[in-house]
Amino acid sequence: MKRDIDLLRKILLTVERHEDDDLIKNIQIDGCSYDKIAYHVYLLKEAGLIDAVISYGMGSIKVTNYSISKLTWKGHEFLDAARNDTIWAKAKEKISTMGGDIPFELVLPLLIEIAKKQMGL
């Protein structure tokens, strides 16, 4: 399955909005299957943006269940840079001019660069 940075952002925004002390399970996002969301939760955990518990099917690498407890510091930093829709759109436009895919580690610096330009820094 291909990584979808828009979906990663939507999941992070959903986690941030969650104000309860309960674990976050079964996130629903229009147009996305449970499997696609679960896979992207796994990617966010692997990238260190969220704390989560992931369960897999017996003898499988397919995510069968997940529970997200919170955003990490790195997750908050990413969201602070990615929250603004205008900055996000400009970053996506820049990424598309580079073939549509860049390493995730370059997305945050790109967002920060765009924000600095908008602030006149």
Domain assignments of the chain as residue spans, ordered by start: 5-72, 84-119
Half-sphere exposure of 69 (CA within 13 A, CB side): 6
- Please write the tens of the pLDDT for every residue from 91-107: 999 888 877 778 888 88
How many angstroms separate the CA atoms of 60 and 37, rounded? 17
Half-sphere exposure of 33 (CA within 13 A, CB side): 6
Give the pLDDT score at 105: 87
Helix (H) or strand (E) holding 37: helix 34-46
Give the pLDDT score at 60: 77
CATH architecture under which domain 5-72 falls: Orthogonal Bundle (1.10)
pTM: 0.89
pLDDT band at 85 (very low <50, low <70, confident <90, very high): very high
What would the DSSP string read from start to end of 22-84?
A: SPB-----TT--HHHHHHHHHHHHHTTSEEEEEEE-TT--SEEEEEEEEE-HHHHHHHHHH-S
- Please write the tens of the pLDDT for every residue from 2-24: 889 999 999 999 999 987 778 89
Give the pLDDT score at 61: 79
- The average pLDDT across 41-64 equals 89
